[in-house]
Structure 1
Amino acid sequence: MAGRVEGTAIGIDLGTTYSCVAAWFDKHNRVEIIPNQQGNKITPSCVAWDGMQILVGEAAKNQIIRNPKNTVFGPGEKPIIVFEHESEEKKFSPEEISSIILRNLKEAAEAFLGTTVTDAVITVPAYFSDKQRQATMDAGGLAGLNIMRLINEPTSAAIAYGLDRSADINCPDEKNVLVFDLGGGTFDVSLLNISKAGTITVKAVGGDTHLGGENFDQLMVNHCVEIFKKKENKDVSENTRAKMRLKIACEKAKRDLSSTVQTPIEIDCLYEGIDFTTKFSRAKFEEINAGFFNLCIKQVENCLRDGNMHKSQVDEVVIVGGSTRIPKVQQMLTEFFAGKPLCKSINADEAVSYGAAVLATNLSGYGNKKVQDFLLLDVTPLSLGVKAGIINNMSVVAEHDMCVVIPKNTPIPTIKEYAYQTRFDNQVNGIFDVYQGESKYTKENVFLDRLILDGIPATPKGEQKMILCFNIDANGILNVSAEVISTGNKRSTTITRSGDLSKEMVKRIRK
């Protein structure tokens, strides 16, 4: 546990479609979800520019139809986002877009709490890479936050679940829990062991950072585009405004289909003055999205295999994320786990931020005994390693194969060391290319950074030994170091290329 800090520490669920912020209230002896400026407990992860000002949250989402090109939801990869209005142009990195959303949540918390907020725990998808984690840290820094910890979203939901069940005197001493977290833009599954004493041990994680409700919406939009093309012989696929209107209508229809078997989609003057009307059935929705649903179950199977657990050993299946309200998702999970009822006791939209607020309270030294006694043991989601070509004593491994240093699902924080030796006569430096991923081949994994160790004495090959050290902290962020044993010469690097923002860039953006 970190030392006690002053002020209230908050927990933030930074989602790709919606975000949420929560904090511990001593007065009420519990976590409370903090409403935004409009009084709502969840905020669209949406940023827009209207030519005069930057809009965030609901203000941004509400103008999306008339300003679709200058509106962006939580970004994922590393593009530069360009807003254009008449002759003026504004450019943002994904970290800057995320920081705008985080600052909005920070300000909402400060207004509600009546105090300045600095410390925060932020959640990330369990399957986020080191690059994405570092980018989130950068975004938090740009928003004026001290990030106490990054925590995986399903693990955060498990904290909420664990605290909820700890009050039940009839609960067994421990349970195996699978958290199925299907949101708007990402999908995570985590296998955990939760003890009544408050220890949460992550056994395995899996998921897909590009699978969620947005995918379901897009296939509905594509289906409607085809219907319009057949009826009217008009193609709306290149019309941004028309497609945005379709997307909004399809998202509403998707929600309606969770409570009804058929719903109409009606849009006046969709394209060239032509109205669009169709009926969308739940059966059609399930049919066109069958591939995505099957991927979800495949990830559950993979997670159980990685955790060396049979599905019959899972005591509880906890569902979180707005997309778990889809009947087909619940049906598939129930059937997969042989009729086991799904746990819906925690709020699907708020559980992740709730758990983050509990961890923030724990780390800051506040909260009641129940909060202070819980212990979290997490894992790294993806394997980390180096290009095998640097290794002299592994002739069975091809030059561009991935040599894993830390396998996925290793408990963190962790430190792993490996001894290597020079491969050539008079070799004076060692080059360590660091990768993350599960492929055998480095070219199919994510390149993180290169560490160059200079100052190796020029001797015949194999005489000089090097120690390579991988150190993953509690946030899941990697530090790599290498040392020449004979001289003690050492080089190290935190994988700062992950976020792609230098300290100078951070200073400039903040200004």
Structure 2
Amino acid sequence: MSVVGIDFGSQSTKVGVARNKGIDIITNEVSNRSTPSLVGFGPKSRYIGETAKTQEISNLKNTVSSLRRLAGRSFKDPDVQVEQEYNTATLVDINGEAGAEVSYLGKKEQFTATQLVAMYLTKIKTTTSAELRLPVADVVLSVPPWFTDAQRRALLDACDIAGLTCLRLVNDSTAIALGWGITKFDLPTPEEKPRRVCFVDIGYSDYTCSIVEFRKGELNVKATTYDRHFGGRNFDKALVDHFANEFKEKYKIDIRTNVKAWTRTLAAAEKLKKILSANASAPISIESLMNDIDVRAFVKREELEEMVKPLLDRITVPLEQALAEAKLKVEDIDSIEMVGGCTRVPIIKEKISNFFGKPLSFTMNQDEAVARGCAFSCAILSPVFRVRDFAVHDIVNYPIEFTWEQAPEIPDEATSLTVFNKGNVMPSTKILTFYRKQPFDIEARYAKPEGLPGKANPWIGRFSVKGVTPGPDGDFATCKLRARLNLHGVLNIESGYYVEDVEVEEPIPEEKKEGDTMDTDAPNGDAEKPKTRKVKKQVRKGDLPISSGSASLDVENKQRLCERENAMYMEDKLVADTEDKKNELETHIYELRDKIDGVYAEFASDDEKAKLKAKLDETEDWLYEEGDDTTKAVYVAKMDEIRFIVGPIMQRHTDKVEAERAAVLKAQEEAAAKQRAEQEAAKKASEPAAAPDAEMKDADAAAPADAEKKDKNGDEPMPEVEEAS
């Protein structure tokens, strides 16, 4: 089972996975650690991620960006109109939801932002699965902390359409804090003063500041503030506006009238901004930008800072707001951790450092911190991995209230109640109590719409409580509803039930008199019965069915979109496989043309060579004419035709190669056997003589003494006789 954390960014996406006792950032098909957050459409298939980036300039009208910022938004939202400035595709209204109109498979198509996000997540899922060589199902996905309930539901729907199970939607800043805190072993204990860290995350399109308190084994988010329109792309746009004026005056071209020229200048400005972060000045040069005119310019870092001065004046606002909401002062902050690509800009670092009056900390990977935190969060929620206990307590960013119709029988009943206040801990559960005689409806909405991003609809959901009837005595039924703001930051009424007051007996605790040191038995030996009293308690008597309506897709629509996404995925796969077969056929033609006069030359007759060469020429001509765009089956058939001719030739070559290999192996085996025999013989020759040989040598050594006893004729010596005395 895989554990995957996805940092779904506005410009690019990073994927972290738990493996090798740590967190790794995986690479995509071109070995990049981040994948562009783009979806493009073509006449045959979709282009997603790296392929979309590759063909973006040539396919501007059909390439959609800002996927994350469009999800769950109404087309009429002013923020969506801002995104049109950064999008070359046409954004449209699709049943009230923002989407894009593109040309796909030769005809105009409209896709909602939720569908576009699902397409992109399908690509991320495929890339991750290929890298891990495991199926990917459970993920944790990052979202900006300012996302509303509708935007969060849109991302959850997109995960479902892509075949992913989202275990948690985690705020970017919270994921960063988790990645920082879970690796620290020197955090204060619960009894000690907490360590307070300010995380500043300035990315491609937004700026977030979060103040977090750390104690051993837990983190508590105290405040999160943001600027939704402050990021790297705003610096890029300031540069492009400057160049547009300069080019118009110097080269007499207006890049504002040419989308391709504008996009190329935007890409060059992004590179220039990065160079200026490390250098005091830098040139820009774009060949044939417009009307075959080459352009050049030179920018100093001070000039860039002057261009973005209105932006820089806003840099301390989120910091001040965060301190105010956390009820802290600058000196209460122990550390300022900088994250996000835009925090590399020198003037930004300087202004934030001056605000806090202390040096900044860059201990985290500025580009991958969110992905690592998401992967840690997924590992904590997964039963497969053992992770040190670390509790995450996030906060509610927008106050949520419930409203309902007044009961006719209760004229002075209030009709609204703020249930989740800003700053409350999340996830959180609240029990709402209503007194009713008949079914009723309640609505959830944001209490302060002016604080929402853009002009987001404050409505969250409507919940109908069924099965309510008067109590046994005809009085009001006491209805209780369980409202929960879950891990995703999404609100639901999970269950409803009704209770009745029932009299029950409960023991009265006796107070011991002074001097009593032990219990005593009653005089008759029986234990004295404890005194009891009757009290009324609420006892759950039954469930109340609840039907709900929210911004989430209904089951039928979601299933339809799942089927559509699967069909498009299979179409993309077929196109990719067809292209592979076409390339394989082309490569095969060139290889055989070289080999027929080379390694295969001695294995083919002149007729076979001529026939094969003719077939190769014929297939090559077909491939570059009518065969340029055909089906996978046709390419496979053409390959089979060539193999039918070259097959016998290849077989003869293979037979000879195998025979030579067998001969070499046999010679090697014989040489090895001979070497073993020689080694054994040498070993025997070097061993000492055995015991019988030693006895023979002893006998031979004694032979000269016996020989002296022989007579002259060589006979055995005669026995000696002594005379008797």
Q: Provide the C-alpha distance between the structure 2 equivalents of 1:472 and 1:35, rounded to a whole number of angstroms.
A: 35
Match of 1:404 among 410, 414, 418: 418
Match of 1:73 among 22, 45, 65: 65
Structure-2 residue corresponding to 1:475: 488
Does the aligned pair in 2 maintain the 1:99–1:140 contact within 8 Å?
yes
Are 1:64 and 2:56 counterparts? yes
Q: Residues 310 and 88 of structure 1: is their aligned pair in 2 closer, same or farther, counting only changes over 3 Å?
A: same
Does the aligned pair in 2 maintain the 1:477–1:495 contact within 8 Å?
no
Structure-1 residue corresponding to 2:359: 341
Q: Which amino acid aligns with 2:398?
A: L
Are 1:436 and 2:446 counterparts? yes
Structure-2 residue corresponding to 1:244: 263
Q: Which amino acid aligns with 1:16?
A: S
Q: CA deviation at 1:176?
A: 0.7
Q: CA deviation at 1:390?
A: 6.4
Q: CA deviation at 1:403?
A: 5.5
Structure-2 residue corresponding to 1:217: 236
Q: Provide the C-alpha distance between the structure 1 equivalents of 2:407 and 2:337, rounded to a whole number of angstroms.
A: 44
Does the aligned pair in 1 maintain the 2:286–2:295 contact within 8 Å?
yes
Higher strand fraction (1 or 2)? 1
Deviations, residues 235-270 of structure 1 (Å, cap 9, x unaligned): 332321111111111111111111112222222332
Structure-2 residue corresponding to 1:16: 10
Q: Residues 453 and 219 of structure 1: is their aligned pair in 2 closer, same or farther, counting only changes over 3 Å?
A: farther
Does the aligned pair in 1 maintain the 2:181–2:214 contact within 8 Å?
yes
Structure 2: runs of 5+ lacking an equivalent: 71-96, 471-475, 501-541, 567-725
Q: Provide the C-alpha distance between the structure 1 equivalents of 2:179 and 2:202, rounded to a whole number of angstroms.
A: 17
Q: Residues 261 and 141 of structure 1: is their aligned pair in 2 closer, same or farther, counting only changes over 3 Å?
A: same
Structure-1 residue corresponding to 2:35: 43
Q: CA deviation at 1:80?
A: 1.7
Match of 1:450 among 451, 456, 462: 462
Does the aligned pair in 2 maintain the 1:472–1:478 contact within 8 Å?
yes
Q: Provide the C-alpha distance between the structure 2 equivalents of 1:394 and 1:263, rounded to a whole number of angstroms.
A: 73
Structure-2 residue corresponding to 1:377: 393
Structure-1 residue corresponding to 2:199: 179
Q: CA deviation at 1:161?
A: 1.2
Q: Which amino acid aligns with 1:411?
A: V
Q: Residues 492 and 255 of structure 1: is their aligned pair in 2 closer, same or farther, counting only changes over 3 Å?
A: farther
Larger mean CA deviation between 143-152 and 432-441 belongs to 432-441
Q: Provide the C-alpha distance between the structure 2 equivalents of 1:238 and 1:490, rounded to a whole number of angstroms.
A: 61
TM-score using structure 2 length:
0.61
1:277-292 superposed matches below 5 A: 277-292=296-311
Secondary structure at 2:257 match in 1: coil
Q: CA deviation at 1:24?
A: 1.3
Secondary structure at 2:27 match in 1: coil
Deviations, residues 103-156 of structure 1 (Å, cap 9, x unaligned): 222222222222112111111112211111111111111221111111111111
Does the aligned pair in 1 maintain the 2:6–2:13 contact within 8 Å?
yes
Q: Residues 444 and 122 of structure 1: is their aligned pair in 2 closer, same or farther, counting only changes over 3 Å?
A: closer
Q: CA deviation at 1:477?
A: 0.9
Match of 1:121 among 140, 152, 167: 140
Q: Which amino acid aligns with 2:299?
A: F
Q: Which amino acid aligns with 1:306?
A: E
Structure-2 residue corresponding to 1:353: 371
Secondary structure at 1:166 match in 2: coil
Q: Which amino acid aligns with 2:389?
A: D
Structure-1 residue corresponding to 2:130: 111
Q: Provide the C-alpha distance between the structure 2 equivalents of 1:494 and 1:283, rounded to a whole number of angstroms.
A: 56
Q: Provide the C-alpha distance between the structure 2 equivalents of 1:284 and 1:80, rounded to a whole number of angstroms.
A: 37
Larger mean CA deviation between 281-290 and 480-489 belongs to 480-489
Does the aligned pair in 1 maintain the 2:5–2:17 contact within 8 Å?
yes
Secondary structure at 2:183 match in 1: helix
Q: CA RMSD in A?
A: 3.5
Does the aligned pair in 1 maintain the 2:187–2:195 contact within 8 Å?
no
Structure-2 residue corresponding to 1:4: none
Structure 1: runs of 5+ lacking an equivalent: 1-6
Structure-1 residue corresponding to 2:323: 304
Does the aligned pair in 2 maintain the 1:74–1:97 contact within 8 Å?
no
Q: CA deviation at 1:279?
A: 2.2
Q: Provide the C-alpha distance between the structure 2 equivalents of 1:480 and 1:294, rounded to a whole number of angstroms.
A: 43
Structure-2 residue corresponding to 1:313: 332
Q: CA deviation at 1:174?
A: 3.9
Q: Residues 391 and 327 of structure 1: is their aligned pair in 2 closer, same or farther, counting only changes over 3 Å?
A: farther
Q: Provide the C-alpha distance between the structure 1 equivalents of 2:314 and 2:553, rounded to a whole number of angstroms.
A: 29
Secondary structure at 2:313 match in 1: helix
Q: Which amino acid aligns with 1:375?
A: A
Secondary structure at 2:101 match in 1: strand
Secondary structure at 2:324 match in 1: helix
Larger mean CA deviation between 489-498 and 269-278 belongs to 489-498
Q: Provide the C-alpha distance between the structure 2 equivalents of 1:420 and 1:292, rounded to a whole number of angstroms.
A: 49
Structure-2 residue corresponding to 1:503: 558
Q: Residues 221 and 498 of structure 1: is their aligned pair in 2 closer, same or farther, counting only changes over 3 Å?
A: farther
Q: Provide the C-alpha distance between the structure 2 equivalents of 1:292 and 1:161, rounded to a whole number of angstroms.
A: 29
Larger mean CA deviation between 325-334 and 235-244 belongs to 235-244
Larger mean CA deviation between 13-22 and 91-100 belongs to 91-100
Does the aligned pair in 2 maintain the 1:74–1:98 contact within 8 Å?
no
Q: Residues 163 and 441 of structure 1: is their aligned pair in 2 closer, same or farther, counting only changes over 3 Å?
A: closer
Q: CA deviation at 1:288?
A: 2.8
Larger mean CA deviation between 484-493 and 242-251 belongs to 484-493
Does the aligned pair in 1 maintain the 2:175–2:373 contact within 8 Å?
yes
1:76-87 superposed matches below 5 A: 76-77=69-70, 78-84=97-103, 87=106
Q: Residues 310 and 494 of structure 1: is their aligned pair in 2 closer, same or farther, counting only changes over 3 Å?
A: farther
Q: Which amino acid aligns with 2:256?
A: S
Secondary structure at 1:39 match in 2: coil
Q: Which amino acid aligns with 1:215?
A: N
Larger mean CA deviation between 267-276 and 440-449 belongs to 440-449
Q: Provide the C-alpha distance between the structure 2 equivalents of 1:252 and 1:138, rounded to a whole number of angstroms.
A: 35
1:228-239 superposed matches below 5 A: 228-232=247-251, 234-239=253-258
Q: CA deviation at 1:454?
A: 6.6
Structure-1 residue corresponding to 2:593: none
Secondary structure at 2:255 match in 1: coil
Q: Residues 237 and 471 of structure 1: is their aligned pair in 2 closer, same or farther, counting only changes over 3 Å?
A: same
Percent of paired sites with the same residue: 27
Structure-1 residue corresponding to 2:86: none
Q: CA deviation at 1:173?
A: 7.5
Q: Which amino acid aligns with 2:352?
A: L
Structure-2 residue corresponding to 1:146: 165
Larger mean CA deviation between 278-287 and 351-360 belongs to 278-287
Q: CA deviation at 1:417?
A: 4.2
Higher helix fraction (1 or 2)? 2
Does the aligned pair in 2 maintain the 1:481–1:491 contact within 8 Å?
no
Does the aligned pair in 2 maintain the 1:434–1:450 contact within 8 Å?
yes
Q: CA deviation at 1:282?
A: 2.1
Structure-2 residue corresponding to 1:191: 211
Q: Which amino acid aligns with 1:509?
A: R
Does the aligned pair in 2 maintain the 1:176–1:314 contact within 8 Å?
yes
Q: CA deviation at 1:433?
A: 3.8
Larger mean CA deviation between 379-388 and 237-246 belongs to 379-388
Q: Provide the C-alpha distance between the structure 2 equivalents of 1:214 and 1:72, rounded to a whole number of angstroms.
A: 16
1:461-472 superposed matches below 5 A: 470-472=483-485
Secondary structure at 2:114 match in 1: helix
Structure-1 residue corresponding to 2:614: none
Q: Provide the C-alpha distance between the structure 1 equivalents of 2:270 and 2:311, rounded to a whole number of angstroms.
A: 16
Q: Residues 206 and 241 of structure 1: is their aligned pair in 2 closer, same or farther, counting only changes over 3 Å?
A: same
Q: Residues 55 and 86 of structure 1: is their aligned pair in 2 closer, same or farther, counting only changes over 3 Å?
A: closer
Q: CA deviation at 1:451?
A: 3.4
Structure-2 residue corresponding to 1:415: 429
Q: Provide the C-alpha distance between the structure 2 equivalents of 1:441 and 1:316, rounded to a whole number of angstroms.
A: 29
